[in-house]
Amino acid sequence: MNQVPTTKLNNGTLMPQLGYGVWQVPDDEAEQAVATALEAGYRSVDTAAVYGNEAGTGRAVAGSGVPRGELFVTTKLWNGPSQAWGRDEVLRAFDDSLGKLGLDHVDLYLIHWPRPMREDFLAIWKTFEELAESGRAKAVGVSNFRPADLDRLAAESPLVPAVNQIELHPLFPQTELRALHAERGIVTEAWSPLGQGKELLALPEVAAIAARHERSAAQVVLRWHLQHGNVVIPKSVTPARIRENLDVFGFELDAADVAALDALGAGAAGRRIGPDPSVFDV
């Protein structure tokens, strides 16, 4: 039974609050990894053109026997610096992703990075409006957008992104951006929700909470996200961990646990693991 709650996006679409992320999974391993996740009960998968594993992801989806209507597939436009991103280039990239996935629509299509120095995300968003209109992307959104980038979109387009997928975990809690999303009806989706399994999962504060609940550090961190209303897409290629990361609906953190985890991010400037969207271009 699939017990993952859904979050309603601003176009009425339902998105599972927990999904499976496949960054850094090579294409020839993605089919097995995604198949394991779908078998465990995940119904949402997060890939991207630049991950190079849309084909493996698509094979797993096709072979899973899960009806398409029960699945939520996200991919992202790699709006890299290799070319200008006019309407034709965006549509071609979208078609290429659909072709590799073997699907006739995706549930969510994201602009992968704002790359503000290129000043082209508004033009890209115009084509995203068209994709949303056509139904080939059930919902469209952005990733790594800063408040200023969201303001620019809002000034130029009536279409509010359904989702902003951002680096977010207790060591980089993005409190202001989350509040802005809530104000504007944008769902916050956390990438690297486990802090990439590094320092965060080894912190004594996290271990203490985990011991009290007889759960793992990863499960405690995922609960922190869920109880804050974030969508999460943890990644693992280890079957036991894939299942463990989904098994987070049978316990709850209390207010003191949440406060202790919130406190980890206080003064968190510089605790990013990934690139800073203000300067990231390649």
Write out the catalytic residue numbers.
Answer: 51
Q: Which of 234, 246, 248, 264 binds ligand NAD (CB under 6 A)?
A: 234
**Closest to ligand NAD by CB, 113 or 159:** 113
All residues at 6 or more sequence positions from 226 whose CB lies less than 8 Å from its CB, including other chains: 5, 17, 18, 232, 248
Region near ligand NAD per CB under 6 A, out of 87-95, 134-142, 179-187, 241-249: 241-249
Residue 196: CB minimum distance to ligand NAD, A: 4
- Residue 28: CB atoms within 10 A of its CB come to 10
Asked whether position 144 contacts ligand NAD by CB under 6 A, the answer is: yes
Asked whether position 22 contacts ligand NAD by CB under 6 A, the answer is: yes
Asked whether position 23 contacts ligand NAD by CB under 6 A, the answer is: yes
Residue 21: CB minimum distance to ligand NAD, A: 3
Residue 218: CB minimum distance to ligand NAD, A: 3
Distance CA 256, CA 209 (A): 10
Per-residue DSSP letter, 255: H
Position 267, amino acid? G
All residues at 6 or more sequence positions from 155 whose CB lies less than 8 Å from its CB, including other chains: none
Distance CA 32, CA 183 (A): 39
Q: Find the binding residues for ligand NAD in span 159-178 (CB under 6 A).
A: 165
DSSP-based helix, strand, coil % in the chain, nearest 5: 45, 15, 40
x/- site string to ligand NAD, residues 182 to 221, per CB under 6 A? Answer: ---------xxxxxxx---x--------------x-x---
Residue 169: CB minimum distance to ligand NAD, A: 7
All residues at 6 or more sequence positions from 127 whose CB lies less than 8 Å from its CB, including other chains: 87, 90, 91
